[in-house]
Structure 1
Amino acid sequence: METYTLPHLPPNLRVLHVAYFENVTNAPDIRRRLVAAATAPGAEGEAARTAVDFAFIEAGLLVSKEHLLTGALAALLTSLPQQARAELPAPPEPKTRSHNLHSEVLMALSPNNNITDAIRRHGVGDGTTRLAVVKFAAEGSSQAEVYGAIADVVKGELTPLDALDDAARIDWARVDKVYKLGEMNQLKVDDIPRRKVAAVVNTVAVKHVT
């Protein structure tokens, strides 16, 4: 698990925790918990939502560690108010187009702006065995506590994030379809996989640039 402190961001969103799991065995249960938490009422619902307050990302569509981190940062930066710092509330709360900031990560990773497509393609599915988990947290949050909360939900093998950089393990058929990269396979150039990784990361990075 890796933790990043982002000193230029508001203190309530200054820490980014990221974990990657392989051989996940309980994806259907995670999915059921997410659906139940979204609709449960009252205090019970709040507790259920807190327990799964993470971005759960299908790692089969991630082409690199940079891809994952770019999506997380894009979700955060595009959700913060754009006013001058002096005019911002303290601290500013993100304004999201989807359910919350964590589901916004799925939107950032998706090449389109359809939340249903983003959740279906990039969220945890019943067949998910490789899962990335992202948590936005306040300054001073404990990595050990965050990991403990994640481990209470995800049953799998914690794996270094650098494993996402292994191009040989990428499901290129799925990635080509989602990011529309099929034509790149016809190019008469060297190192097509590296070029496709760059294309995917750039797609996520510039998606909301106007």
Structure 2
Amino acid sequence: MADGTTLQLPHLASHPVHISLFADVANAPFLRQQLLEGNSAFEYAFLDASTIISVNHVLAAVFRAVNDLLHGRLKSRNVHSEIVFSLSPNNNIAESFRRFGISDTTRTLLAIKVLNSPATDPIPDPSSHLATHVQGQRVPFNDATLALTAEIPRVRKIYKLDSGGDAGGRKGKGGKGQPNGAMAANSTIKEMEAVILGIMAVKGS
């Protein structure tokens, strides 16, 4: 099984972030219920990874959420719910959880933990905690894996990339958009990523 990843974001070294990606998750309803009950032992951002196309896509949301935490600008309950909200193209918090958060049918899961002091954090070792409680296979958190698990047509619909010939749907000489199978190519993912990051940045400006 792959290990989780702990990152220090630029300019936010005081708040390292643990990220684990799981495939074939079998107990999403249990994990979602822990969030709904406010169980402090499950203080994570649980994302449906099928809505994430790249590492930069999710890290942009994490950076935004941690930065807003430090500057007292959170719009949701805590920094972990703010990560989910930061992914959204609009300011509807409930909709952001429906689109990006864990659901009972989630099969690929991104678990994100903004680390606090080990002395006060109820989850001092999130990697071990997740390995114990997530019934799934931990896989590498990288662009290659996310490109395989992302549902590209769904992401394009969420960010409205089908209109106006936006990323991945540019018109060719024949007037037809690219077929869905071609959109998973790395060049298209990068093009989509650039547009999505712009949409996320404009929402919060």
TM-score by length of 1: 0.77
Please name the residue that 2:8 is paired with.
5
Superposition deviation, residue 166 in structure 1? 5.1
Please name the residue that 1:44 is paired with.
none
When you count helix as a share of all residues, which structure comes out higher?
A: 1
Q: Deviations over 1:131-163 (max 9, x none)?
A: 101111136789982212222332111111115
The 5-angstrom pairing of residues 38-57 of structure 1 reads: 49-57=39-47
Superposition deviation, residue 72 in structure 1? 0.6
In structure 1, the gaps of 5 or more residues are 38-48, 82-93
Please name the residue that 1:127 is paired with.
105
Superposition deviation, residue 171 in structure 1? 1.2
Superposition deviation, residue 207 in structure 1? 3.1
- SS of residue in 2 equivalent to 1:24: coil
Where relative contact order (Cα < 8 A, 6+ residues apart) is larger, the structure is 1
Percent identity, aligned pairs only, is 30
- SS of residue in 1 equivalent to 2:6: strand
Tell me, yes or no, if the aligned pair for 2:23 and 2:139 is still in contact at 8 Å. Answer: yes
- Distance in 2, Cα, partners of 1:145 & 1:166: 24
2:91 to 113, 119, 132: 113
Please name the residue that 1:22 is paired with.
23
Superposition deviation, residue 204 in structure 1? 2.5
Residues 95 and 202 (structure 1), Cα distance of their counterparts in 2 relative to 1, 3 Å cut: closer
- Distance in 1, Cα, partners of 2:47 & 2:22: 10
- Distance in 1, Cα, partners of 2:91 & 2:80: 15
The 5-angstrom pairing of residues 27-106 of structure 1 reads: 27-37=28-38, 49-81=39-71, 94-106=72-84
The 5-angstrom pairing of residues 146-165 of structure 1 reads: 146-163=126-143
**RMSD of aligned Cα (Å):** 2.7
Please name the residue that 2:151 is paired with.
171
- Distance in 1, Cα, partners of 2:124 & 2:145: 25
Residues 192 and 2 (structure 1), Cα distance of their counterparts in 2 relative to 1, 3 Å cut: closer
- SS of residue in 1 equivalent to 2:103: coil
- Distance in 1, Cα, partners of 2:155 & 2:10: 33
In structure 2, the gaps of 5 or more residues are 179-186
- Distance in 1, Cα, partners of 2:114 & 2:124: 14
Residue-pair matches, total: 184
**For residue 3 of structure 1, what is the amino acid of its counterpart?**
T
Residues 169 and 156 (structure 1), Cα distance of their counterparts in 2 relative to 1, 3 Å cut: closer
TM-score by length of 2: 0.78
- SS of residue in 2 equivalent to 1:152: helix
